Amino acid sequence: MPVHSRLGLVQVSLAGVLWGTGGLGVQIIREHEPMSVLTISAWRMGVAALVLVAAVALFRQGGDLVRLLRDRPGPAILAGVATGAYQALYFGSVVSVGVTVATVVSLGLAPVLVTAVHVVRHRRLPGQGTLVVLVLAITGLVLVSSTAGLGETGPRPVLGVVLAALSGTTYALTTLVAEAVAATTTPLALTAVATGAGALALLPLGLFGARGDAPLVTTDPVAVATLAYLGVFTMALAYGLLYAGLRTTSGSAAVIASLLEPVTAAVVAAIVLDERLGVAGVAGTLLILAAVAGLGRTERTPVPPPA
C-alpha cells in the first residue's frame, strides 16, 4: 500500500481511538448531571462547531469553506446532519445497552454496509475472501447482540441494540457521502461545514431532551470538562482526522480502520466501568476483529493522492 494510503489509514485509526472514549464520556456526564443523550449530543457538536470556526479563522481557510458551500453544499451538509443523527443514536444505545455492545454493534455493522454498497456500485460480486469476512462480521454481530438480552450490559438491551444498528447504518451513509466530497476540499473546511450543519440539526433535539429533571446546561465542573473533551477531541479532532484520511483512503478501508473504536471502547469499559460481555460477547468481538483484519487484506486498490 502506498505511503499516502497508509497515512490515511493512520489518520482514520487515530479517529477511531478517540471515538472509542466517547461512550465513557457520556457515562461520566450522566453520573454527575442527568442530562439527556440528545442534549449531550447537541452540546458536543456545538462545542466542536465553535472550535472549528475558530480554527478556520486561525488558519485562514475561510476561502476554502466558502468554495465548499458554493460548489458542493449538499453532500457536506448531508454528512453533518447524518453525523448528528449517528451520534444521537449511538449515545442513546450507550445509555440503553452499555458502551461495549453499543460500539461493537454500531461500528461493526458499518463495514458490512459500505462493502455491500461498493459491490452494487461497481456491479461486481465480492470475492471469496470478502464473503468470508462478511460472514464473520455478521456472525460476530449476532453473538454480541445476543449478549445484550441477558441484561448484563444495560437496562434496555433490545432498544439499545436497535439504536446501535440504526447508528451503524447512518455512520455508513456518512462515510460514503464524505468520501465523495473529501478529495475536493480541505479537511478543516469539510469538518467545519459538516459539524456546523450537524449542530444546527441537533439543536432542537437537544432542547427537546432538556425536560423534567434533565437539564439543558450544567455547572458541574466534571460534566463541563467532559463536554468540552467530547466536543474538541471526539468530534472536532476525530472527524478532522477522518475527513483527512478519506482524501487518500477508500471509504471501505476508512470504516474498517475506524473499528479501532470498539476495541478502545471495550478496553476502556472493562477497566473503568467493569462491563462484561460474557463468552458469546467475547467470541463475537473476536469474530468482528477477525473480519476487520480480513477486510483490510482484501483492500487492493489504493486511492490516488489528491492533486
Please state whether the predicted TM-score (pTM) of the whole model is above 0.75. yes
Place of cell 445497552: 97
pLDDT on residue 262: 73
In a domain, 253, yes or no: yes
User: Which of the two residues, 272 and 166, has the higher pLDDT score?
Assistant: 166
pLDDT on residue 265: 76
Q: Which of 78, 52, 51 is nearest to 65 (CA)?
A: 52
198-243 pLDDT, tens digit per residue, is: 999 999 989 988 888 899 999 999 999 999 999 999 999 999 999 9
Confidence of residue 249 (pLDDT cuts 50, 70, 90): confident
Confidence of residue 304 (pLDDT cuts 50, 70, 90): very low
In a domain, 303, yes or no: no
| Termini Cα distance of the chain | 19
Over range 119-132, report the average pLDDT: 77
Give the distance, in angstroms, between the CA of residue 228 and the centroid of all CA atoms in the same chain.
18
C-beta separation of 127 from 186 below 8 A: no
In a domain, 117, yes or no: yes
Q: Can you give the residue range of the structural domain that contains 144?
A: 3-298
Mark 54-90 as b/e (b = at least 16 C-beta within 10 Å).
ebbeeeebeebbeebeeebeebbbbbbbbbbbbbbbb
| Counted domains in the chain | 1
In a domain, 307, yes or no: no
Over range 91-99, report the average pLDDT: 81
Residue 67 confidence (pLDDT) above 90: yes
pLDDT on residue 128: 78
pLDDT on residue 64: 94
In a domain, 305, yes or no: no
DSSP the chain: --HHHHHHHHHHHHHHHHHTTHHHHHHHHHHHS---HHHHHHHHHHHHHHHHHHHHHHTT-HHHHHHHHHH-HHHHHHHHHHHHHHHHHHHHHHHHH-HHHHHHHHHHHHHHHHHHHHHHHHT----HHHHHHHHHHHHHHHHHHHHHTTTSS-S-HHHHHHHHHHHHHHHHHHHHHHHHHHTTS-HHHHHHHHHHHHHHHHHHHHHHH--TT--S----HHHHHHHHHHHIIIIIIHHHHHHHHTTTS-HHHHHHHTTHHHHHHHHHIIIII----HHHHHHHHHHHHHHHHHHHHH---PPPPP-
pLDDT on residue 84: 86
Number of Cβ within 10 Å of residue 183's Cβ equals 15
159-196 pLDDT, tens digit per residue, is: 988 999 999 999 899 999 998 899 889 999 999 999 99
Q: Which of 236, 284, 82, 59 is nearest to 168 (CA)?
A: 82
pLDDT on residue 252: 76
128-154 pLDDT, tens digit per residue, is: 776 787 788 778 777 776 665 554 567
Over range 278-304, report the average pLDDT: 67
Is 151 buried (19+), middle (13-18) or exposed (0-12) by CB count in 10 A? exposed
Confidence of residue 20 (pLDDT cuts 50, 70, 90): confident
Mean pLDDT of the chain: 83
